[in-house]
Amino acid sequence: MEGTSGRGHGPRLPDGGGRLGRRALLVGGAAAAVGAGVLAREELRHLWWRAPGVEKARVEGAVDQPGAEWVAASEANWRRADRPGDYGVDRVVIHVVQGSYPVALKVFKDPAHGAAAHYVVRGDGHIAQTIRELDVAFHAGNRTFNERSVGIEHEGWIDRPQDFTEPMLRASARLTASICARYGFPPDREHIIGHVEVPGSDHTDPGPHWPWERYMRLVRQARTEVEGTKAAVRRV
């Protein structure tokens, strides 16, 4: 997973680098970042939303997925953003904790851990959201994929197929289908991938026992239900 050196008063340069001063974020004040070179200019290109009056209002404890429980990850394990305004979202990355649901939440709260996913799904189907989808979670071990994806962790171990319970798979599939619908990308294996499939990843999850065929069938079914619900609401 992607490491981080912690958070300060301003957004960092590309992950692992230094920080841009607050003045460098304001429209008309970009000259303050000239000394940071090309990387700073690239970062500024994605930070237009930090100008006064532009940033979206945020409600503490708000969730993107109805029914999810908010359990905040440490701010050291993610980067503030304004997705999809600054970074388009077109991937879901499936993870397995290699441990329990409480363990996942504990390490995501730990600023020394350096990584966290947006969601954690428990064996009984309960979902915790730990990072807003607006923001970039350090979960994929690849900066570009972090910026373009939503990460979903699942309780369990990759060598224990019994850990991938029916309630877990159905809840996760509904979550994934909702994410696909929110950002307008298809529910297929090009856009829904395992951590092992992220370029440069040294992780093997979700492992050989993750039931991809069944999971994708559930995702497509859930996506049809999501679209049906949206159409019904439009008719009212």
Q: Does residue 19 have a pLDDT over 60?
A: no
Q: What is the pLDDT, as a whole number, of residue 133? A: 98
Average pLDDT, the chain: 84
Q: Is the confidence at residue 153, as pLDDT, over 50?
A: yes
- The closest of 4, 2, 3, 1 to 19, measured between CA atoms, is 4
Rounded CA-CA distance 75/60 in Å is 14
Looking at residue 30, the DSSP 8-state letter turns out to be G
Average pLDDT rounded to a whole number, residues 130-157: 98
Highest average pLDDT, of 6-20, 38-52, 77-91, comes from 77-91
Place of tokens 């994605």: 46
pLDDT band, very low/low/confident/very high, at 215 (cuts 50, 70, 90): very high
- pLDDT score at 192: 98
C-beta separation of 127 from 68 below 8 A? yes
Give the closest residue to 155 by CA, choosing from 106, 102, 197. 102
In this structure, what DSSP letter does residue 57 have? P
* pLDDT recorded at residue 232: 53
pLDDT over 70 percentage in the chain: 79
Mean predicted confidence (pLDDT) in 47-56: 83
The answer to whether 25 and 51 have CB atoms below 8 angstroms apart is yes
**What is residue 23's predicted lDDT score, i.e. its pLDDT?**
35
Contact between residue 120 and residue 105 where contact means Cβ atoms under 8 Å apart? yes
188: tokens are 């297929």
**pLDDT at residue 21 in the model:** 39
Interatomic CA distance for residues 216 and 23, integer angstroms: 46
Three-state secondary-structure class, residue 13: coil
Q: CA nearest 95: which of 26, 56, 145? A: 145
Q: Is the pLDDT of residue 48 over 80?
A: yes
In angstroms, the CA 24 to CA 45 distance is: 11
CA pair distance 110, 71, nearest whole angstrom: 12
Give yes or no for residue 31 having a pLDDT over 70. no
| CB burial of residue 165 (10 Å; 0-12, 13-18, 19+) | middle
Q: Which two tokens stand for residue 219?
A: 């995702």
Q: In this structure, is the dihedral angle defined by the CA atoms of residues 198, 203, 209 and 215, taken in order, positive or negative?
A: negative
Q: Which residue has the higher pLDDT, 23 or 88?
A: 88
pLDDT: is 3 or 204 the higher one? 204
φ/ψ (deg, to 5) at 77: -105, 10
pLDDT for 58: 87
Confidence at 230, pLDDT banded by 50, 70, 90: low
Whether residue 140 contacts residue 146, with contact meaning beta carbons closer than 8 Å, is answered with: yes
Report how far apart the first and last C-alpha atoms of the chain are (Å, whole number): 45
Query: In this predicted structure, what is the pLDDT of residue 12?
Result: 36
